[in-house]
Amino acid sequence: MRHYELVFVLKPTLSDEELNARVEAIQNLIKDNQGEIYNVEKWGRKTLAYPIQKFNSGYYYLINYKTDNNKLPGILEYNLRINEDVIRFLNMKIHVPKASTEENKEVA
């Protein structure tokens, strides 16, 4: 099972309903392609380090997911790239330390 971390920035002009719809669509895309989401964080509106598409701020989100489907990251990146409301994203494979996964199993 591979673990991934997805950070993306949405346009600051979106309403709360539109933001929730975009995040839910991304989550559904992950779930529909055999992905399992185990953490979602809304970091809120933050100022960008430099203007992107003439925007000086954006709404940041973090999604941690795991999957056995090695095509999911490519599918996800393609869909984020063509989505006009996503102004920047970073999807990367992360290493989960074995000690922390073993501790989680013992606690559960």
Spell out the domains of the chain, with CATH numbers in brackets: 2-98 (3.30.70.60)
Q: What's the pLDDT at 44?
A: 95
Residue 81, Cα to own-chain centre: how many angstroms?
13
Q: What's the pLDDT at 96?
A: 80
Over the chain (108 residues), the average pLDDT of each successive run of 10 is 95 96 96 95 95 96 95 95 96 82 56
Closest CA to 65 of 22, 26, 102, 99: 26
